[in-house]
Amino acid sequence: MKIIKGVAPKDYESIVAPNGDFKKLHTGDIVLRPIEGSSSLHHAGIYCGNDEIIEFCPTVEKADTSALVTSLSKGSTPDGEIHKISVKKFLKGKKWIIFRLKSKVEDLDSNIKNAMDKDLPYHALQFNCVNFALCILKKQNWPNSREIEGIKDQPLTSTSDCVSVRPEDEAKPGQHEGRNNTYYPLLENPEEGTHLKDIVTKN
């Protein structure tokens, strides 16, 4: 998934905004900041206007990143939290990136409102903050009840891969290789509703 690594897909434009210049933000922008403990992965949210960002994260993130690692290493999937926070609180003083869709999103305000009522599990690979943002922008379909149960039942074989990625890691075309030589197919066409599935371990 290009977005989580801070790379804009072809149907988005990257907006340059000096630190603290929130006036550059438009409703519907994807706002990204580095994930705690990682130099190359990003947490994503959608700007809602009125200095607010809607975000999706695991409930344990409020404690610390190590709590997320512990829960995932046990094969469990934490519940997801959806809430709106100020832009300043979202950024946590970190450098930020803005991605803006080149096309208009219909019923965006309604999409954001409906997203607040969702009850979703968080999975670092199958349904994370970027998937949530793409659903709001109608570039990915919301998971149905069956898919949600599938997300809950899908453990991770390793946790280091979903929290941190080393720039020197090599990958096959269209894939990312994590620290334990596990390949995760990248989501190149999120508008098709594809999820990050089918973990394949390198021989």
Give the domain CATH number at 118: 3.90.1720.10
Report pLDDT for 20. Answer: 64
Integer Cα distance of 141 and 131 in angstroms: 9
Report pLDDT for 21. Answer: 75
Q: Strands, E, within 4-134: which ranges?
A: 12-15, 30-34, 42-49, 52-58, 80-86, 97-101
Report pLDDT for 182. Answer: 28
Considering its fold, how many domains does the chain have in total? Answer: 1
Report pLDDT for 89. Answer: 93
Cβ distance 154 to 77 under 8 Å? yes
Cβ distance 90 to 53 under 8 Å? yes
Q: Which amino acid is at 117?
A: D
Report pLDDT for 9. Answer: 73
Integer Cα distance of 74 and 155 in angstroms: 8
Report pLDDT for 24. Answer: 85
Which of 105, 107, 185, 184 is closest to 139 using CA atoms? 105
Integer Cα distance of 38 and 101 in angstroms: 26
pTM (whole model) above 0.95: no
* Domain membership of residue 159 as a residue range: 3-201
Report pLDDT for 166. Answer: 31
Report pLDDT for 62. Answer: 47
Show the low-confidence residues of the chain (pLDDT under 70): 1-2, 4-6, 17-20, 60-78, 154-203
Residue 85 DSSP symbol: E
Cβ distance 105 to 12 under 8 Å? no
